[in-house]
Amino acid sequence: MKHKILLVLLLGLMVAFTASAQKVTLQFRQVKLAKVFDAITQQTGLTVAYSRPTVDPDRIVTIEANKEELSQVLTQLMKGTNVTFEIGEKKIYLKEKPTSDVQQSRKVKTISGTIVDDKGEPVIGASIIIEGTSQGTITNIDGEYTLANVPENSMITISFVGYKSLTFAANDKTLANITLKEDSELIDEVVVVGYGVQKKRDVTGAMASVDAAKIASVPVTSASEALQGRASGVLVSQDNWAPGTSPTVLIRGKRSINASNEPLYVVDGVPITGGLREISPSDIASMEVLKDASATAIYGSRGANGVVLITTKQGKDGKTQVDYSGYFGVQTIQNKLELMNGAQYAEYVREAYRNTNSSNKYPTDYPDKTADMANPMFKQDAYVLESLMMAYDENGNYYPSKVRSDNWFDHVTRNGIITDHQISVNGGNAKTNFLASATYNKNEGIMKDQSYERYSIRLNLNHEINQWFKFGLQTQYSHSVKERGSGMEGDAYMYRISPLGSLRNEDGTPTQLVASDAQMWNPLMNLEEGAVSAPEKVSRYLGSYYVEVTFPVKGLKFKSNLGLDARTKQNYQFYSSNTSTRQLGTSYAYNGMSKYTMMTLENMLFYNRDFGKDHTLGVTLLQSIQEDKTESNKIGVQDVTSDDLLYNDLASSSIIDKIGSNLTKWTMASFMGRVNYGFKGRYLFTGSVRYDGSSRLAEGHKWVAFPSVALAWRVSEEAFMKKQNFLSNLKLRAGWGKTGNSSIDPYMTRGGLGLSTYVWDNGASEVLGYAPSIMANSELTWETTKQWNVGVDFGFFNNRLSGTVDLYLQHTSDLLLERQIPVVSGFGSVLSNVGETKNKGIEISLSSLNINTKSFQWTTDVMFYANKESIESLYNGKVDDIGNKWFIGHPINVHYDYEKIGIWQNTPEDLAEMEEFNKNGANFKPGDIKIWDNGDKKITEADRKILGSTSPKFIASMVNSISYKGFDFSIFLYASVGAMLNNNIEYLNKPGRANSIVIDYWTPTNPTNAYPRPSVDNASPAYVKSLQYEKADFIRVRNITLGYTLPEKLLKKIRARKIRVYLSANNPFVITGFSGIDPEGARGYTAPSASTWMGGVNLSF
């Protein structure tokens, strides 16, 4: 029996010894103790047993162990506490040390307090650590903390990411109320780069970052709008103000003539096409704009136009938090085309007839009742004549103010309504975090038949199975409906409608023809119920799913990411016969659908390691495959059986107008490698190469390599810089890289076939067939851009003034252009890689902290960006293509035409000069447009010249943000200089019949130089197009916001984290000399620009 007892004891000792001798590997920094216990259990199979409050599982610890014995690790974890451990067969027991083991002489205390930032906001998750131990805690949602068993003679360290750490004695009364200051050096700020993250201090490429706070500061409906004026080198233009319209985005100018210049968007690691309209700005945590080739070359054939990386918000450890943001606003017309009223139109008609050589010449220089009654335009419609006769009294005296007038545009516009609601719930623990959100946005446009509505839901989830495995997903579904209306605001014929005519019958229904004019169909017909329906419905799903594996090898990690982008677009249109579009003919219906599906799978291997104190190495390897597929079908019909059917039963129509379907599919495979190396934290190197292969290209040309290299020197870290204190940061950067533009039609290398009709038997029969329509070119490849970039990042006075300056030079070659070939080949041209363009520019970003006190802060952000683009060669070398308006040494998009320099006047000097021109075939008269001449007194093609470019010479912005106690105020200014727009208005079109926008036209008594004289003899004046070219310089107040945040004491009473209310004005006014709708690009006949006046609230619980 004794032997058995001894054997059992021996076995027990062996088990205990074996358990305690187990070795574990741990790498944790600033994590909860419970997370370390989970890792120990995963590696040893031993569960950790303990009781509260003896052991605090939420205590923050840091532990690094590489195959160390379990007992040593536990000893290190429990150091500085009153806890001991015992390793059993299946469990590890943690218990309080016996009194005899405790140093009775050591006095301990409990400390507590509140930690806030310099604005008084609670800092959530700040670490409070006893120096020399792993004992500590973190602050709660109110910034409060409590830490027990603190030795009275110890030191306490307070820290939080992005703030300067503080150290206090344990008996320091300051611990009760602590204010953390932002770390102005920001040396550890992390930014998103392609395929990973990087410390901002180590970035070698040119990039700009827009965080969630900046995105939220200006209420916008699309993510691309949030980039305007926030990132240097980025030009964001709103050329249409209709609801649901997204602006265009250009990064560092235009490179391509025929291919796309749109940047690549990457959302949570998934490259997408089709823009950002469906992504709610409130879901975005940050947007990083990669601008130079050293940053974008890792995206290879898709990186030439720059890359916008979008990272959505994620859940956070801690208590579940609920956030709500919402606003409601009214949109008013800021600018519209001002049409002549009845009196102005009547005088305009008279003047046009005064300048005729026909028998209908208006006989007097003043309004005359008899002449008006005889005028063809006035007398053809009784209502028109009656409107005009109202201005004459019984004695024939004329009073213009009494002319009856109406304006169709006033009947089809309104004050728009815009509303937005966003709610999100996020939270988590040491292993799992989540964020769920829902957004709703609606805009009832200024045009009564236009609106936009979008809702979206999002779920982001991350879970750590153990210290080796992690997985997560970021998903979003959105659905939007854009009601496009009849498009009457863009129909030039609508602007010709006589203001003297009747728009409604006596019963209130719209008239059909206005003023009895066969071309003036009443636009009010389009607003009748069931007359027009043109919705565009878009459903989109974005999904990113990843698995991450951390290997036992220090610094080695693997990540696999599956990305999905599925988008369905339904294009519906219906126009009844009783509309201005169908003009009492047959009704028209259209039903089209396209389905886009993109799948990408990326496998990435990361190795990041510090070697000693001087060397830092980061290696990224990527293998990627992508498939894009677009399927579409469409059918258009006429004469639908019933208007009630709209576009839903096309089979009931009697006429098939068009029918078609299509399938487009392409694939791409890629390999990429990148190396980041740092020496002493001062000398930085980044090198990468990407190898792309695509089904778009022909055999033998499918694979292209895209290399890049960049260097940086952190001068401020040098020893010789330590003695000065005014320059707090200085980094010099230089980089070179090669990128591509993949905008080649997937089947272009194989040529194309076109449907043809073959006639037989002298026209007795027709047979459908196919004939070559596009010549194949197996040599086609991607347009490529080589880019050089030098930059400097700097900070002065402890970074109170900081900024970035970048200079760049881009050279794009192998442009996709049609090259003329002999017609004996059966084709007139073939798409080829010929031609070159060049871009060069400067980007400047400045940020200043002007005033920073406890109750008052004032910051200023300034951005300046100038770019000069030019065509270097075309398909014929350095020869201009006048027909396409492409000129060597000039930007891609220029205005090439005659230049108006004034109006010919009835002066001796002008009369003499006109006579010289008239001798050479001209027929100028006083009141005609005066055109610039090269000196030969002949207006010929030789007198056409380059007038300007659509691209501005520079853009700039300034944002001032001020906060005082609970109040905040910001004003956002945005300016553009040097662009010219073609404001394609039909000036003086059909004078004497059609109405016009209000213009200062020439008459003998008004010898203006603005616009020529009207004449009924001419459908439009000679050289009238020269009136359309206008400078588009402007300075815009983009946003003004005034807000108030409720004080913390009041919030605690209602258990709220934050409540802020605000008033905001988007685009309240713009200063410009441009006469069109908006100098940003809304030109010609289009929807009015809008000012938005809104109020909103931000809530957090």
| More confident position, 958 or 763 | 958
The whole-chain average pLDDT of the chain stands at: 88
| Residues 6+ positions from 575 with CB-CB distance below 8 Å | 486, 531, 532, 581, 582, 587, 588, 589
Count of CB atoms situated within 10 Å of the CB of 613: 8
Give the pLDDT of residue 799. 86
Burial profile 471-500: b = 16 or more Cβ within 10 angstroms, e = fewer = ebebbbbbbbbbbbbbbbbebebbbbbbbb
Angle between the N-to-C axes of helices 342-354 and 382-389, in degrees from 0 to 180, rounded to the nearest 10:
100
| Residues 6+ positions from 982 with CB-CB distance below 8 Å | 895, 1028, 1029, 1083, 1084
321 close to 1101: Cβ distance less than 8 angstroms: yes
Rounded-to-integer distance, Cα 973 and Cα 403, Å = 43
264-267 and 307-312 strand pairing = parallel
Write out pLDDT tens, residues 155-205.
Answer: 888 888 667 788 888 888 888 888 887 765 444 567 778 888 777 777 888
Over residues 503-507, the mean pLDDT reads 93
Split at pLDDT 50, 70, 90, the class of 521 is very high
* Amino acid at position 833, single letter: N
Burial class of residue 348, CB neighbours in 10 A (0-12, 13-18, 19+): buried
| More confident position, 1044 or 753 | 1044
Question: Is 108-180 in the same CATH topology as 15-101?
Answer: no
Q: How many CA atoms lie within 13 A of 421 on its CB side?
A: 6
Give the pLDDT of residue 100. 46
Rounded-to-integer distance, Cα 325 and Cα 1099, Å = 6
Split at pLDDT 50, 70, 90, the class of 686 is very high
Over residues 793-812, the mean pLDDT reads 92
Give the pLDDT of residue 17. 36
Give the pLDDT of residue 658. 87
| Sign of the four-CA dihedral 274, 280, 284, 286 | positive
Over residues 99-103, the mean pLDDT reads 45
Cα diameter, the chain: 142
Give the pLDDT of residue 369. 94
Token pair belonging to 789: 């970039």
Burial profile 179-194: b = 16 or more Cβ within 10 angstroms, e = fewer = bbebbbbeeeeebbbb
Quick check: 806 pLDDT over 90?
Answer: yes
Q: Of 470-484, 506-520, 757-771, 824-838, where does mean pLDDT reach its minimum?
A: 757-771
Count of CB atoms situated within 10 Å of the CB of 59: 21
CATH of 15-101, one of 3.40.190.290, 1.10.540.10, 3.40.50.720, 3.55.50.30: 3.55.50.30
Rounded-to-integer distance, Cα 438 and Cα 420, Å = 11
Percent of the chain with pLDDT over 70: 96
- Where along the chain do its domains lie? 15-101, 108-180, 342-404
Torsions phi, psi for 1022 (to 5 deg): -65, 140
Split at pLDDT 50, 70, 90, the class of 319 is confident
- Please tell me whether residue 244 adopts helix, strand or coil conformation: coil
Quick check: 84 pLDDT over 50?
Answer: yes
Give the pLDDT of residue 342. 95
522 close to 503: Cβ distance less than 8 angstroms: yes
- Please tell me whether residue 298 adopts helix, strand or coil conformation: helix
Write out pLDDT tens, residues 28-43.
Answer: 777 788 888 888 887 7
Q: How many CA atoms lie within 13 A of 288 on its CB side?
A: 25
CA dihedral 924, 928, 929, 934 (to 10 degrees): 20
Rounded-to-integer distance, Cα 1041 and Cα 219, Å = 10
958 close to 864: Cβ distance less than 8 angstroms: no
Quick check: 296 pLDDT over 50?
Answer: yes
316 close to 428: Cβ distance less than 8 angstroms: yes
pTM, entire model = 0.81
Strand order in the sheet with 144-151: 144-151, 108-117, 177-180
Token pair belonging to 912: 């003499």
Quick check: 301 pLDDT over 60?
Answer: yes
* Amino acid at position 871, single letter: I
* Amino acid at position 391, single letter: A
Q: Of 159-163, 950-954, 1055-1059, where does mean pLDDT reach its minimum?
A: 159-163
Q: How many CA atoms lie within 13 A of 573 on its CB side?
A: 19
108-180 placed in CATH 2.60.40.4070: no
Split at pLDDT 50, 70, 90, the class of 613 is confident
Split at pLDDT 50, 70, 90, the class of 9 is very low
CA dihedral 989, 993, 994, 999 (to 10 degrees): 70
Over residues 528-546, the mean pLDDT reads 95
Over residues 86-113, the mean pLDDT reads 70
* Amino acid at position 14, single letter: M
Over residues 980-1008, the mean pLDDT reads 94
Q: What is the H or E stretch that residue 345 is in? A: helix 342-354
Give the pLDDT of residue 448. 95
| More confident position, 228 or 414 | 414
Split at pLDDT 50, 70, 90, the class of 99 is low
In 897-1017, alpha helices (H): 908-919
Give the pLDDT of residue 188. 53
Rounded-to-integer distance, Cα 861 and Cα 231, Å = 11
Q: How many CA atoms lie within 13 A of 68 on its CB side?
A: 14
Q: What is the H or E stretch that residue 949 is in? A: strand 945-949
Split at pLDDT 50, 70, 90, the class of 334 is very high
Give the pLDDT of residue 18. 39
Over residues 912-939, the mean pLDDT reads 94
In 865-999, alpha helices (H): 908-919
